[in-house]
């Protein structure tokens, strides 16, 4: 029956407060200083966002030594190590730091526990920009553990002075499995002072968990290099969806995926603008999936102030 086709639309989805702030940081910097504005790494892990900002005059570079001396450089939402700040200073770059405040919080925790001479186990994906930035705060104290299977390789000096921290965009369930394995090895393992996995990552995973059991297919809008988007595909499959795919754009959807499918779940990663989700919903509607039902598991109201260089000047009387 064609009229039984439906879409379950996850809410919350899409932009989180940290991404919103980072993208606006680049836009405002372009407005204020004009093009070009250099950005170290992708400001957020989304192809559409990066291409849109490039059209406006943002130039994305891998390292600060690719930025002309004295130019403006924006640091991405994923954060950078002290070493990167140092090289920027040496090249007299004018830096604007768009690091997500929730990532900055993990950096502060890393510094604090390194000062107290703890061994810090950073749960995260080896080579991810956020992990490199955090590990760079205290390289002698931090070991990166990429998932439960890496736990056996961890060596610590004093089992009573070990703490775990995590990348902000991980799967909540897999992280807790890693922690469980760590605690079996190190029963005195300390927890972070507050949760490191960001509220938006958790909320998006909870929403997918709620709709996945009813879905033949879950489409996650997001880029391949987006950790939190990749996790949503995994969460969908682990919680009952028959199939799940990550797409940047509606045009990436293979119509063969829709064969025999009654219920399609749709969500998007935390760095995805809503216009891309609308494109997917329009394409699905063209193929008979016009009934869209929202599955809402949380309301998000958090916002972050822009970096101080971009805030309006205070009027003093």
Which active-site residues does the annotation give? 130
- 47 contacts 224 by C-beta, under 8 angstroms: no
Burial degree of 74 (CB within 10 A; 0-12, 13-18, 19+):
buried
Taking residue 227's Cβ as centre, other Cβ atoms within 10 Å add up to: 24
- 43 contacts 96 by C-beta, under 8 angstroms: no
E strand segments, 205-303: 217-221, 243-247, 263-268, 291-296
Question: Measured between alpha carbons, how far is 95 from 82 in angstroms, rounded to an integer?
Answer: 13
Give the length of the chain: 317
Question: Measured between alpha carbons, how far is 129 from 80 in angstroms, rounded to an integer?
Answer: 8
Question: Measured between alpha carbons, how far is 286 from 219 in angstroms, rounded to an integer?
Answer: 16
Question: Measured between alpha carbons, how far is 149 from 129 in angstroms, rounded to an integer?
Answer: 21
């Amino acid at each position: 029956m064609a009229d039984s086709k439906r879409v379950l639309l996850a809410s919350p989805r899409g932009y989180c407060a940290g991404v919103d702030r980072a993208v606006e940081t680049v836009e405002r910097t372009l407005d204020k200083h004009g093009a070009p504005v250099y950005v170290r790494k992708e400001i957020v892990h989304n192809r559409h966002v990066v291409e849109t900002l490039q059209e406006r005059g943002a130039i994305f570079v891998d390292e600060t030594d690719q930025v002309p001396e004295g130019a403006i450089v924006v640091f991405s939402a994923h954060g950078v190590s002290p070493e990167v700040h140092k090289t920027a200073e040496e090249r007299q770059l004018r830096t604007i730091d768009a690091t997500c405040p929730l990532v900055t919080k993990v950096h502060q925790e890393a510094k604090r526990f390194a000062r107290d001479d703890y061994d810090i186990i950073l749960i995260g994906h080896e080579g991810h920009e956020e992990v490199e930035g955090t590990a760079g705060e205290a390289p002698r104290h931090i070991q990166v553990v990429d998932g439960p299977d890496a736990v056996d390789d961890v060596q610590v000096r004093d089992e009573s002075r070990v703490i775990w921290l995590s990348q902000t965009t991980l799967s909540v369930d897999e992280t807790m499995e890693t922690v469980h394995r760590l605690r079996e090895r190190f029963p005195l393992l300390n927890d972070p002072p507050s949760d490191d996995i960001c509220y938006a990552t958790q909320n998006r995973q909870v929403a997918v968990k709620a709709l996945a059991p009813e879905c033949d297919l879950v489409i996650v809008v997001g880029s391949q290099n987006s950790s939190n988007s990749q996790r949503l595909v995994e969460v969908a499959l682990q919680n009952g969806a028959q199939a799940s795919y990550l797409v940047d754009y509606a045009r990436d959807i293979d119509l063969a995926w829709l064969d025999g499918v009654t219920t399609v779940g749709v969500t998007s990663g935390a760095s995805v603008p809503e216009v891309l989700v609308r494109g997917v919903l329009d394409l699905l509607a063209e193929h008979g999936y016009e009934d869209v039902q929202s599955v809402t598991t949380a309301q998000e109201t958090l916002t972050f102030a822009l970096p101080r260089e971009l805030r309006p000047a205070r009027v003093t009387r």
